[in-house]
Amino acid sequence: MNQRWRLILLWFLPFCMAIFLTWQVLGVSKPGSMSSEGTMIAPRNTAVSRMSYGRFLDYVEAGRVTSVDIYDGGRNAVVEAVDPDLDNRVQKIRVDLPGLAPELIDTLKTEGISFDIHPPRKASPALGVFGNLLFPLLLIGGLILLARRSNSMPGGPGQAMQFGKTKARFAMEAETGVKFDDVAGISEAKQDLQEVVTFLKQPERFTSIGARIPKGVLLIGPPGTGKTLLAKAIAGEAGVPFFSLSGSEFVEMFVGVGASRVRDLFKRAKENNPCLIFIDEIDAVGRQRGAGIGGGNDEREQTLNQLLTEMDGFEGNSGIIIIAATNRPDVLDSALMRPGRFDRQVSVDAPDIKGRLSILKVHSKNKKLEESLSLENIARRTPGFTGADLANLLNEAAILTARRRKKAITLDEVDDAVDRIIAGMEGQPLTDGKSKRLIAYHEIGHALIGTLVKDHDPVQKVTLIPRGQAKGLTWFSPDDEQSLISKAQLRARIMGALGGRAAEDIVFGYSEVTTGAGGDIQQVASLARQMVTRFGMSDLGPVSLENGSQEVFLGRDLMTRNDVSDAISRQIDEKVREMVKSCYKETLSILSKQRELMDRLVDLLIEKETIDGDELKGVVTEYTPIPEKERTVPIL
């Protein structure tokens, strides 16, 4: 019997019992009998009329009443009387009496009328008591049933004593469905973690030469790079008991609950060692202590203290390996990062072009790709994409393919998926001629600077199709991995960002420039300030004049500290303005010399709405030579 029918039965049985007991207590009178209170119930197919008490007395005095049956202690009576209106036939009539008065009895005796007094039938005292207790018993039974159901549900009232128990998911042999072969693009991190699996399977290989496996491995990297996927691969490969939980599952609003859960977790781990413990997003519980006003002795810090003690305290935890993941290593407590706790820190960064290619091969196994579609081209076009981004890219391309009723994914679906992930959903094409032409000049200004400036990234395509908040877009695609960027490249990027505003200034005049360059100007200001203050690419010299953006901890960094004087701050602002003005002046000079080319490209863009990089280069070469861009094509 399933749970649903069991619950129905548990509610139905008390209901039936209540009906039965009510029937026993109140009684179900047969036709023509009295009720439990002695009230006369007329037999079926017998007409019983009613009569007032005064008229009943008149009938008695007139000698029309032949018999009287008194019920309910003298409050009701059934009278047999001769009705002159019905040919003197005897009729049973019901009368409401004021009570069993002696005068009425004397009158009946005087008139010689046959009468009988029927005493009320009394119920059993036991049934009466049980009837009074019926509703409280049903109420108590319903509450017990609800309490039992609540106890069987997670987080119910019956779980109040389970607050201190760990919420970690436990598996003797974790069947995650992920192996190391399914993890691609992060070979260095995978190699470090393969040693952990080897130690768990063959510990004598390390202990024979005196090696000690790290107690903890901390995975550090941006979101989506594969930290959790690596933990699943370790669980799938190790074949040992595996505990997995999130850092936020330790923290509760009740004092001491987090520390109790840490103790319970390590207690269970010791009972099942050797084993693995994976804590995802450990920064939720491992943030620096003393970060609150007044010292910060809060529940989270007590939980962290207990975690530090369990990882490397007075009692050893041999055979327990902790793997944690975070994308905020800068906020973790220094005691958590020291050797003996998290001995090894593994960086899981965004993959390079080789890594992206291997990731694409993994995620394309269950996708139908067109034969002409090259994964190398997709890998080259997606610099900075993480493993999660690439998986989402192929999934979006597959969705577009199904929507367009195609049998295989083509390059068009991949390009549209990249555009959607980076810029947003495609909007309706512009129809207003004036606005469309202005946006076209703006985008062509970006594209021409990107094409004619030697150190700028090559143009991939220019489009007037809106995406997200942008009314038009110019895509640039670097040919190689740019882990190091030169001063000339940064200056070229500033000029490329200013190309849209410069084109509006040249064609429509300075008084007609629009707000479309707002995002470009913010990018320009950020790049120029970083060149001056962080990278030392100005006349102020190779000096770092501003700290990078770091989180401020109340209690430790209650007030931000200014690292430079007011005079240096003014010089920084002057150098930033000089750099931007110089780049804008050079951008205006380049576009002014190519006004005819710019008009030709705008007409072509308005006609086709999208121009790819090769077609753009073909038109530009008809008017002016394109400088050769020195790029190192990566070897795949």
Asked if pLDDT for residue 508 goes beyond 60, the answer is yes
Q: Which residues 6+ apart lie within 8 Å of 219 measured at CB?
A: 189, 227, 230, 231, 323, 324, 325, 326, 346, 348
pLDDT tens-digit readout, 518-534: 889 999 999 999 999 98
pLDDT bucket at 42, cuts 50 / 70 / 90: very low
| HSE value, Cβ hemisphere, 13 Å, CA-based, for 253 | 0
For tokens 């790709």, the residue is: 369
What would the two tokens of residue 546 be? 């501003």
At residue 390, what are phi and psi to the nearest 5 degrees? -70, -40
Poorest-pLDDT segment among 40-44, 186-190, 192-196, 430-434: 40-44
Cα-based angle 417, 418, 424 (whole degrees, multiple of 5): 80
- More confident call, 371 vs 636: 371
Residues 613 and 458 sit within 8 Å (Cβ to Cβ): yes
pLDDT at res. 31: 39
SS (H, E, C) 349-360: CCCCHHHHHHHH
Query: Rounded to whole angstroms, how far apart are CA atoms 284 and 292?
Result: 15
**Average pLDDT score over the chain:** 78
The highest-level CATH class for domain 433-620 is mainly alpha
Distances (CA, A) of 430 to 437, 443, 609: 10, 14, 9
For the entire predicted model, the pTM comes to 0.66
For the ranges 25-34, 62-71, 112-121, 396-405, which has the lowest average pLDDT?
A: 25-34
- Mapped onto helix, strand or coil, the DSSP state of residue 386 is coil
pLDDT at residue 61 tops 90: no
CATH for the stretch 169-347 = 3.40.50.300
Assign 34 a pLDDT band (cuts: 50, 70, 90).
very low
Q: At 469, is the pLDDT very low, low, confident or very high (cuts 50, 70, 90)?
A: confident
Contact 164, 264 (CB under 8 A): yes
The secondary structure of residue 225, as a DSSP letter, is: S
∠ Cα 383 389 395 (to 5°): 125
Please check the confidence at residue 442 and state whether its pLDDT lies above 90: yes
- CA dihedral sign of residues 157, 163, 165, 170: positive
**Where does residue 176 rank: exposed (0-12), middle (13-18), buried (19+ CB within 10 A)?**
middle
* 353-423 is classed CATH 3.40.50.920: no
Provide the pLDDT confidence category of residue 302 given band limits of 50, 70 and 90.
Answer: confident
Q: For 600-623, write each residue's pLDDT tens digit.
A: 999 999 888 889 888 988 999 988
- The more confidently predicted of residues 325 and 3 is 325
C-alpha distances out from residue 5 to 142, 143, 148, 630, Å: 16, 19, 16, 76
Task: Give the sheet arrangement for strand 473-476, strand by strand.
Answer: 473-476, 459-463, 610-612
Report whether pLDDT(239) > 70: yes
Check residues 212 and 556 and name the one with the higher pLDDT.
212
Domain residue ranges of the chain, discontinuous segments joined by +: 1-27+123-162, 49-117, 169-347, 353-423, 433-620
For residue 46, the model assigns a pLDDT of 42
Catalytic residue among 301, 310, 443, 504: 443
Digit-coded pLDDT (tens) for 107-151: 777 777 887 887 766 656 666 666 667 667 777 776 676 666 555
Residues 354 and 43: their CA atoms lie apart, in Å, by 99
Respond yes or no: is residue 271 known to be catalytic.
no
Q: What percent of the chain has pLDDT over 90?
A: 15
Fold matches, 49-117 and 433-620: no
Percent share of the chain, pLDDT over 70: 76
Pick the CATH number of 49-117 from 3.40.980.10, 3.60.40.10, 3.30.720.210, 3.90.870.10: 3.30.720.210
**Residue 438 CB burial class (10 angstroms; 0-12, 13-18, ≥19):** buried
The owner of tokens 């987090």 is 258
